[in-house]
Amino acid sequence: MTAPAAGRSPAGRQVVVLGGSGFLGRHLSAAFRQAGADVLAVSRTAPAQRHLAPGVRALAMDLTSAGPDRLAGLLAEAGADLVVNAAGAVWGVTQGEMRRANAELVGDLVEAMAGLPDQPRLIQLGSVHEYGPGAVGGGTAESHTPAPITPYGQVKLLASDRVLAAARSGALDGVVLRIANITGPGTPPGSLLGGLAERLARLREAADPDPVLELAPLRASRDFVDVRDVVDAVLATAAAAADLVRGQVINIGSGRATPVRHAVERLIAHSKVAARLVERESGTARSDTEWQQLDIAKAGRLLGWQPHHDLDGSLGALADGTRAPIREGRNGHE
């Protein structure tokens, strides 16, 4: 696949990664630094330097309470050429906290960036959950009208809409990447596969002769994408010419729906734990659609991007990593 005409290489650019100490943020910060960018990772609590790639600077700031003026000051002082918003909250928070961290923060960020004299590009990391139910057997394209059915999908859509409205009005150089379910090395335990990997690691340590893994019924099919492919997509978006990506929604996923039961069975196999899988009704309502599959053709056209890691390899990397588990916070992309 031939890449479209590029804008700027990351080398020498000032990149600010919001949510930079979290799961995706750490991967992004390391990749931009390796590409030659000067990277500032901003998060609620600054991590120890050993948790960041060499050369990445860290800053502690509660982004949810910073407000537009303080955010503008931060970006101006950093001389930001590019801002990647990997901040957010999904697990272990109230709906009010979820709205503040995912939607209201982005509103403050858009206001802050629109007033800067030298306007950076904003890459907003959205979610497949913004779309709501997909049509079984088909892929959801960017032209699909979003109809999210979870609180997380709803607040992520509010954030995306704010970025797109500002970009399309000319007030912001902004683009939204709508990302499938991320997996691969270091997947946080708040997610289904990350939590399962952690449980399998504990079963392995316990050396139970008859380990049982009880889960809610695994009826759904999901689009899973490796975190390393997501990072490649973000770097490609950072380099793309403004007239290609400004005001665009671009899907980033594997382009296929995998039965969740199959993913779980493969993760169990990679864990080397002979666990019996028991599916049991939990009595709680299902919270999301049964079919997620993104149409990723637009990412190929605009970014020259396509995924290179298959799900089985991602699950193997996740299982290997649980031998030294990464402790994650309560945030989503973080």
- The answer to whether residue 333 sits within a structural domain is no
Average pLDDT, the chain: 90
Residue 250 maps to which CATH number?
3.40.50.720
Does residue 122 lie within any of the structural domains? yes
pLDDT at 289: 76
311 falls within a domain: no
Residue 117 lies in a domain: yes
| Residue-range definition of the domain harbouring residue 174 | 14-184+223-257+295-305
Do the domain assignments include residue 179?
A: yes
Whole-angstrom distance, CA of residue 232 vs CA of residue 227:
9
**Owner of token pair 């609180």:** 151
Q: Does residue 272 fall inside a structural domain? A: no
* pLDDT by 10s per residue, the chain, length 334: 445 545 678 888 999 999 998 899 999 999 999 999 999 999 987 666 656 788 999 999 999 999 999 999 999 999 999 999 999 877 778 888 889 989 999 999 999 999 998 889 999 999 999 999 999 999 999 999 999 999 999 999 999 999 999 999 999 999 999 999 999 999 999 899 999 999 999 998 888 888 999 999 999 999 999 999 999 999 999 999 999 999 999 999 999 999 999 999 999 999 999 999 999 886 554 556 789 999 999 999 999 999 999 999 999 999 998 644 333 333 445 4
pLDDT tens, 253-285? Answer: 999 999 999 999 999 999 999 999 999 886 554
Catalytic residue numbers, as ranges: 152
For 289, the token pair is 């659609």
Q: Is residue 252 part of a domain?
A: yes
Name the domain count of the chain: 1
Would you call 143 exposed, middle or buried from its count of C-beta atoms within 10 A (0-12, 13-18, 19+)?
exposed
CA nearest neighbour of 86 among 164, 152, 23: 23
In a domain, 328, yes or no: no
CA dist 279 to 90, 212, 295, Å? 24, 10, 30
Please give the model's pTM, rounded to 2 decimal places: 0.91
Which parts of the chain fold into alpha helices (H)?
23-34, 63-78, 95-99, 105-114, 151-168, 192-206, 227-239, 242-245, 260-271, 297-303, 311-321
State both tokens at 314: 């991602």
Query: CB of 318 within 8 A of CB of 183?
Result: yes
pLDDT (0 to 100) of residue 321 = 83
